[in-house]
Amino acid sequence: MTAQTPGARAWDTDRTIVRFPDPAIEIVDERFRALVVEHEVVDRLWTGGRWLEGPVWFGDGRYLLFSDIPNDRMMCWSEVTGQVTVFRQPSNNSNGNTRDLQGRLVTCEHLTRRVTRTEHDGTITVLMDSFEGKPLNAPNDVVVHPDGSVWFTDPGWGIEGNYEGDKAVKEIPRYVFRIDPGTGTGVPVITGMDRPNGLCFSPGESRLYVVDVGHIRVFDMDGGTPVNGRVFVEMSPGQSDGIRTDRDGNLWSAAGLGGAGFDGVHCYSPDGDLLGRIHLPETCANFCFGGAKKNRLFITASRSLYSVFTEAQGTQHP
Ligand code: MG
């Protein structure tokens, strides 16, 4: 392998000529070679957003939805045309997105401080907007468990200023909630975290990972209850945001606010060993696995959308 400086790349909206291997793909541990494609390039698919978040793949429509939080819109990138169009505006400063077991879009909204579901006919159902009579802070990211329950974090960045929502006073602690699929009622399942952010389950749902700013915590799942919370990895000198597991149980993490050589996507083994990094020239907020084989990372990083094919595959359900 040619030694190149990690992340040393010219980036533009055209397909820049890159000498393989792409220096944006850094092998830290030899195990990472089996998870990436040697002759593959990290592409910038689109730029022109303000703070992009919440990518979610729709294989049935061959498109990706993602949030542009400060611009109060959700965008749609088409795999068919390569074009980006506005999907929803206003979006109530939407942030994290996922799909439920019926394929319906589930969205965290900052402005309205709620979690919603978009029905197949396009109408919007509010899943949760308050707890014990008080408004949520500002839901950030969301995942659906195979039992149909909706899990989301409520750190409240969306009410700390007017940039990503409306400034307001926080009225409840920063919980991780679980909305029961039968009753529709949401209750805190994790308390005491500083700023819960991205979250995902391991394959088989034996573990739950939750980002808490500068580190990622892991919980064992005891039935439907997360227990034995502990630090999985520290993200110093930066921090994490969105996270996903692949089918082998590796944990992929958005990495941001660490500067060049850090920002991008990091991949960890189930034991917490750093395997490799995808370097980006912008702070990374979130990503998801998409494409027909779920082997393509779609990455929202500051103002731009990136993608890279991998040999890892996302879990079947978002
Ligand atoms: Mg987030």
Residue 1: its pLDDT value, please?
Answer: 38
Query: Residue 317: inside a domain, yes or no?
Result: no
What residue numbers bound the domain in which 69 lies?
Answer: 19-309
For tokens 């892991």, what's the residue? 218
In the reported structure, the alpha carbon of residue 52 is separated from the centroid of ligand 1 by a whole-number distance in angstroms of 10
In the reported structure, the alpha carbon of residue 242 is separated from the centroid of ligand 1 by a whole-number distance in angstroms of 5
Q: Report pLDDT digits (tens) over 124-140.
A: 999 999 999 999 999 99
Query: Residue 142: inside a domain, yes or no?
Result: yes
- pLDDT band with cut points at 50, 70 and 90 for residue 50: very high
Supply angle C-alpha 126, 155, 46, rounded to 5: 80
Residue 123: its pLDDT value, please?
Answer: 98
pTM recorded for the entire structure: 0.95
Alpha-carbon distance of 300 to 283, in angstroms, equals 9
What CATH number has the domain bearing residue 50?
2.120.10.30
pLDDT > 50? residue 2: no
Contact 121, 179 (CB under 8 A): no
Alpha-carbon distance of 103 to 59, in angstroms, equals 10
Query: Residue 194: inside a domain, yes or no?
Result: yes
Query: Residue 314: inside a domain, yes or no?
Result: no
In the reported structure, the alpha carbon of residue 141 is separated from the centroid of ligand 1 by a whole-number distance in angstroms of 5
Average pLDDT over residues 175-191: 98
Peptide bond into 155 cis (omega under 30): no
Residue 171: its pLDDT value, please?
Answer: 98
Average pLDDT over residues 303-313: 97
In the reported structure, the alpha carbon of residue 212 is separated from the centroid of ligand 1 by a whole-number distance in angstroms of 10
Average pLDDT over residues 26-49: 95
In the reported structure, the alpha carbon of residue 89 is separated from the centroid of ligand 1 by a whole-number distance in angstroms of 20
Q: What are phi and psi of 293, to 5 degrees?
A: -100, 5
Q: Report pLDDT digits (tens) over 188-208.
A: 999 999 999 999 999 999 999
What is the percent of the chain where pLDDT is above 90?
A: 90
Contact 254, 199 (CB under 8 A): no
Query: Residue 7: inside a domain, yes or no?
Result: no
**What's the structural domain count of the chain?**
1
Residue 3: its pLDDT value, please?
Answer: 44
In the reported structure, the alpha carbon of residue 247 is separated from the centroid of ligand 1 by a whole-number distance in angstroms of 22
Q: Report pLDDT digits (tens) over 261-301.
A: 999 999 999 999 999 999 999 999 999 999 999 999 999 99
- pLDDT band with cut points at 50, 70 and 90 for residue 142: very high
Q: Which of 14-23, 27-36, 93-102, 172-181 has the lowest mean pLDDT?
A: 14-23
In the reported structure, the alpha carbon of residue 97 is separated from the centroid of ligand 1 by a whole-number distance in angstroms of 10
For tokens 């929803």, what's the residue? 88
Alpha-carbon distance of 191 to 186, in angstroms, equals 14
CB under 5 Å of ion ligand 1: residues: 140-141, 197, 241
Query: Residue 3: inside a domain, yes or no?
Result: no
Query: Residue 60: inside a domain, yes or no?
Result: yes
Query: Residue 305: inside a domain, yes or no?
Result: yes
- By C-alpha distance, which of 278, 271, 274, 317 is closest to 294? 317
In the reported structure, the alpha carbon of residue 54 is separated from the centroid of ligand 1 by a whole-number distance in angstroms of 7
pLDDT > 80? residue 181: yes
- pLDDT band with cut points at 50, 70 and 90 for residue 19: confident
